Amino acid sequence: MSGVSENRNIVLGITGSIAAYKAAELARLFVSRGYTVRTIMTQSAQEFITPLTLQSVTGNVVMTDFWESAQPQNIEHIEIADWAHAIVVAPATADLVARMAHGLADTPLLATLLATRAPIVLAPAMNVNMFEHAATQENITVLRKRGIHFVDPEEGALACGWNGTGRLADPWEIFYNVRRYLAKGDMTGKRVLISTGPTREPIDPVRFISNRSSGKMGVALAQEAFVRGADVTLVHGPVSVKKVPDSVRRIPVTTAVEMHAAVLQEYGAEPYDVVIMAAAVADYRPKYVAEDKIKRREFKDRIEMVENPDILLDLGKQRKDSKRPVLVGFAVETGEIDELLEQARDKMKRKQTDLIIGNFASDAFDLDTNHVWMLDRTGRQEEVATTFKSRVANRILDAVLRL
């Protein structure tokens, strides 16, 4: 990722759980973001998913055996332990957790885990009773004390028929947590409030006014700020936040008035360091919400619009210290670049923000990429050419940290 140095060699350990198939998805996530992934599988993992699957996804030979080294001149588990910037075991069975707690090294995976100095992240998956068993819990406590990180299993229906905690965390959840352990953490301890998505202004029980915002830019900002160590709160309109890490606090809202209340309440309650208004807030709402569906013939006479509060404007007005929190706004425009920059500058001044991100609707809405111009209060102007929203997010966070 631009702007934030992340070490990029991941060793993925897979042990024998029905959730092993999800490890392929996790490997794919890392590979698609430019990480190099090498996999180590236990014997029982291979009953659930083949090494060929992981080899195909990662482009690297899978280590399954002590004695079949791809590079015979090396002691492979030592070489791979040294090569890793992080080792993630997903899924990690009760057996793996127990053996690791005792320092056993009788499989390539255990030997690598014992030999490495890289951070280790375990994502357990097992039957709820096995997970809650005193032995497993004590082993987890021992490992945590030794600095091993955990991405806790989820609660829900388990493959074994039981309900409870034991289901492997979502691959996205594991992905962002591993990245957080890998990143240099230049936002550690910083509180960041982000708004995203459209708002929906109801007209009657079946209709509303909204816009084409997908919320992806704000979601990317929340994900990347989390990776960089920040403590993130996301106030979001009706968009999918499935890929946002669980530790990001989410506040779902629907209307602009609700978003205004939620953002200002947060702003007053917590000492935020950064507030980013990435939401596409509707400027107007119908004055009355009809209780019954408005008939076609009555429609144009029944809709009276009133202005919504301007959240960013109110934040700018309320900020007492002129430096904190850093206020960031977006300006989505159509037309020519000169107009975009002028509008952006005008919005930065009017809403008293420190940074404004200008972009064209055609470059941003509903896309995974964006092309933006960043203007800050010191007069600095920077263009970020079309790239993934995750990269744009990191460039924006870099600009925030400079202020």
- Is 24 among the residues that bind ligand CTP (CB under 6 A)? no
- Is 122 among the residues that bind ligand CTP (CB under 6 A)? no
Q: Which stretch binds ligand CTP (CB under 6 A): 29-37, 166-174, 323-331, 376-384?
A: 323-331
Q: Which stretch binds ligand CTP (CB under 6 A): 16-24, 47-55, 117-125, 305-313?
A: 305-313
Minimum CB distance to ligand CTP, residue 356 (Å): 8
Establish whether 99 is a catalytic residue: no
Minimum CB distance to ligand CTP, residue 354 (Å): 12
Q: Which is nearer to ligand CTP, 57 or 256 (CB)?
A: 256
- Is 344 among the residues that bind ligand CTP (CB under 6 A)? no
Contact 111, 105 (CB under 8 A): yes
C-alpha dist (Å) from residue 81 to 12, 164, 169, 301: 11, 34, 24, 71
C-alpha dist (Å) from residue 282 to 47, 258, 359: 53, 12, 17
- Is 23 among the residues that bind ligand CTP (CB under 6 A)? no
Q: Which is nearer to ligand CTP, 40 or 277 (CB)?
A: 277
- The burial of 271, by beta-carbon neighbours within 10 Å (0-12 exposed, 13-18 middle, 19 or more buried), is given as exposed
DSSP states of 83-95: H-SEEEEEEE-HH
Q: Which residue of 108, 329, 340, 373 would you call a contact of ligand CTP, by CB under 6 A?
A: 329
| Nearest partner of 228 among 157, 277, 176, judged by Cα | 176
How far is the C-alpha of 139 from the C-alpha of 157, rounded, in Å? Answer: 24
Q: Which stretch binds ligand CTP (CB under 6 A): 110-118, 296-304, 308-316, 375-383?
A: 308-316
Catalytic residue from among 18, 105, 142, 160:
160
How far is the C-alpha of 82 from the C-alpha of 142, rounded, in Å? Answer: 23
Q: Which stretch binds ligand CTP (CB under 6 A): 172-180, 186-194, 204-212, 327-335?
A: 327-335
Contact 226, 194 (CB under 8 A): no
DSSP states of 321-339: SSSSSEEEEEEEE-S-HHH
How far is the C-alpha of 399 from the C-alpha of 379, rounded, in Å? Answer: 12
Q: 244 to 263, contacts with ligand CTP by CB under 6 A? A: 256
The set of catalytic residues is: 160
In the complex, the residues that contact ligand CTP under the rule CB under 6 A are 256, 277, 279, 281, 283, 308, 310-312, 329-332, 347
